[in-house]
A and B are shown apart, each in its own frame.
Chain A
Amino acid sequence: MQRMKTNKNFKSNLITYGIVIVAFAIAQTLQSTGNLSSLMKGLLVPICVYVILAVSLNLVVGISGELSLGHAGFMCVGAFFSAFFSKCMVDVIPISGLRFFFAVLVGAAGAAVFGVLIGIPVLRLRGDYLAIVTLAFGEIIKNVINVFYIGRDSNGFHFSMKDQFSLGMEPDGVMLLSGPQGITGITRDSSFLAGVILILITLFIVLNLIDSRDGRAIKSIRDNRIAAESIGINITKYKLMAFTVSAALAGMAGALYSHNLATLQASKFNFNTSILALVFVVLGGIGNIRGSVIAAVVLTALPELLRGLADYRMLIYAIVLIVMMLFNWAPKALEWRERYLGRIFRKSAKEGK
């Protein structure tokens, strides 16, 4: 009986990895046979970014049960830390893949540190209050980065919060970070393959974490805080763990994002990005990791696929949102899904629970 359940989880996880790998293979084939429009090609890496972002947000919203509206903030931290690192290290580590690997680590670590710093005060709050504070955090991060000017010349690093000229650099100086203009000339180290590998790493971490002793503790706090405390589970520790892991993964998404752009500006990581991530999570099913992956892919690619419909594009996008929501939550739709799709995908249809 017990072995059956562990196997079921394991199988469900394998299916999730399988979907990612198959999707990757299809996209690669389409790309090499020239069946992919240049716009879609440009979307491949952003899709990976949003998949990672959605999965990481689902860890906070679905598994830990706290509504976070500032996830773009962590992505922003990861993006800037990693891009800054790459700009500094471009001469030290000439191999693009290796540099990117370290940049991702730096981005994730930076975001994790912010996750802890923000998490300690924020996780004392609950529900709507927590949501509002995380929202404020996302905006603060964005605006703080907007006023930083950092340059480097033969004397070392220069730092200012006023403008580029007050840095007082030698003529050979290079601007690393210039306020609202952000970081320019980032090496484009990311690739679709790197993105897919990062997705698999994210899924591996999140799916295994959920299905372990720590994951059980996190879920038990979500389901009933008082009961969790009564059986000796340390609430603060596990809330913070979920929040930090999630922040680190969002930082990873940020690193992937920034290395796909020539110019990185903080204004990209606004409230809309946070909400977009939340839309993926809600549509994919709160707490359903595989759902987040699928929702992020579909909803990122959709506006592009609908380009031919010109003016009706956003209308159809909205309708798809509504239909997906009905399909996910309406009792009749669930019943239908159970009866027809369930027969075909008997095992895969009941993942998660």
Chain B
Amino acid sequence: MAVMLDVKNLGISFGGLRAVNGFDLKIEKGELYGLIGPNGAGKTTVFNLLTGVYKPNEGCVMLDGQDITGKSTIEINKAGIARTFQNIRLFKDMSVLDNVKAGLHNHYKYSTLAGIFRTPSFRRTETEMNERAIELLKVFDLDGEVDYLASNLPYGKQRKLEIARALATEPKLLLLDEPAAGMNPNETQELMDTIHFVRDNFHMTILLIEHDMRLVSGICEELTVLNFGEVLAQGKTAEVLNNPQVITAYLGE
């Protein structure tokens, strides 16, 4: 199988704090990969390094054979990484539909003047965008709330909308930062099904951070455990979760 994401020796320091050190990661195409670890272990920092929010001090990141080390967030998104955030970051004063359409921004284009003068190319492109957006919203069962303001959606649906928006940018790799945070068991179960569905139907590679071990053991095929900015264990989910070091550092006896 081909490698989708190949990270080698990634590291970053904030002042004297070594937040991530010697981080290696290899994810194959179509894999569902989990990144776990105690609070403050550097999981979100890894996400920020992968998406260009922070520039790494050393190491390199290859996405599908393309070097994306140190590129800007926008370039990295165009190269094919999309993400969601731990604390939901929706466009809250925009409609659910417009949130997804904003995600389609770089794939459906017309000029500013075409937009102002409502040319046929504007109408055509907008119709296509609407169709595509509705299609994505249907996957997440949000097509009934197209006209709602994003901030008026219930919490679980906001998380789903964020995933839909990320998918709208047509990524190769999807990063989910604690997608199940704040969800009840039913919602989590539903989310697990959705993540599976996204992987299978969009042929997506997914890397997710999660604390809910039911979700992690339920859907992740491989895991990396991070502790104090360094990799503690890496491998098949079942093996990693039975690793004595992981149990001591994170899961508890």
**Residues of A that sit less than 8 Å from B by CB:** 1-2, 4-6, 204-205, 208-209, 212-217, 219-220, 222-224, 226-234, 241, 287, 353
Contact string, B177-220, partner A, CB cutoff 8 A, digits 1/0?
00000000000000000000000000000000000000000000
* Of B109, B147, B149, the contact of A213 (CB 8 Å cutoff): B109
Contacts across chains A and B counted by CB atoms under 8 Å: 113
Expressed in whole angstroms, the Cα–Cα distance for A221 and B235 within the complex equals 39
Residues of the B chain whose Cβ atoms lie less than 8 Å from the Cβ of A241: 112
Contact B82–A2 (Cβ < 8 Å): no
Interface of A is mostly: helix
> How near does chain A come to B89, taking the closest CB pair, in angstroms?
4
Contact A233–B134 (Cβ < 8 Å): no
Can you add 12 more A-B contacts, CB < 8 Å, to A1-B134, A230-B89, A231-B102? A1-B146, A5-B146, A208-B116, A213-B110, A213-B115, A215-B115, A219-B98, A223-B92, A227-B90, A231-B105, A231-B165, A232-B73
User: Provided the pairs A224-B89, A224-B90, A232-B78 are in contact, do residues A209 and B165 lie with their beta carbons within 8 angstroms?
Assistant: no
Contact string, B57-90, partner A, CB cutoff 8 A, digits 1/0?
0000000000000000110011000110100011
Contact A232–B91 (Cβ < 8 Å): no
Contact A219–B95 (Cβ < 8 Å): no
Residues of the A chain whose Cβ atoms lie less than 8 Å from the Cβ of B105: 213, 216-217, 231-233
Question: What are 24 of the A-B contact pairs (CB < 8 Å)?
Answer: A1-B134, A4-B147, A5-B95, A204-B116, A208-B116, A209-B112, A212-B112, A212-B115, A216-B105, A217-B105, A219-B93, A220-B102, A223-B91, A223-B92, A224-B92, A227-B90, A230-B77, A230-B82, A231-B77, A231-B105, A232-B169, A233-B105, A353-B93, A353-B149
Residues of the B chain whose Cβ atoms lie less than 8 Å from the Cβ of A1: 134, 143, 146-147
Contact string, B101-140, partner A, CB cutoff 8 A, digits 1/0?
1110110111010011110001001100110001000000
> How near does chain B come to A11, taking the closest CB pair, in angstroms?
14
Which residue of B is nearest A65, CB measured? B93
* Of B97, B109, B165, B166, the contact of A5 (CB 8 Å cutoff): B97
Which residue of B is nearest A2, CB measured? B130
Residues of the A chain whose Cβ atoms lie less than 8 Å from the Cβ of B25: none
Contact A230–B102 (Cβ < 8 Å): no
Whether a CB of chain A sits under 8 angstroms from the CB of B225 is no
Whether a CB of chain A sits under 8 angstroms from the CB of B7 is no
Whether a CB of chain A sits under 8 angstroms from the CB of B163 is no
Contact B103–A231 (Cβ < 8 Å): yes
Contact A232–B77 (Cβ < 8 Å): yes
* Of A6, A204, A205, A216, the contact of B102 (CB 8 Å cutoff): A216
> What are the nearest 10 A-B pairs in CB distance?
A212-B115, A232-B77, A223-B91, A227-B89, A220-B102, A229-B73, A208-B116, A224-B89, A220-B91, A2-B130
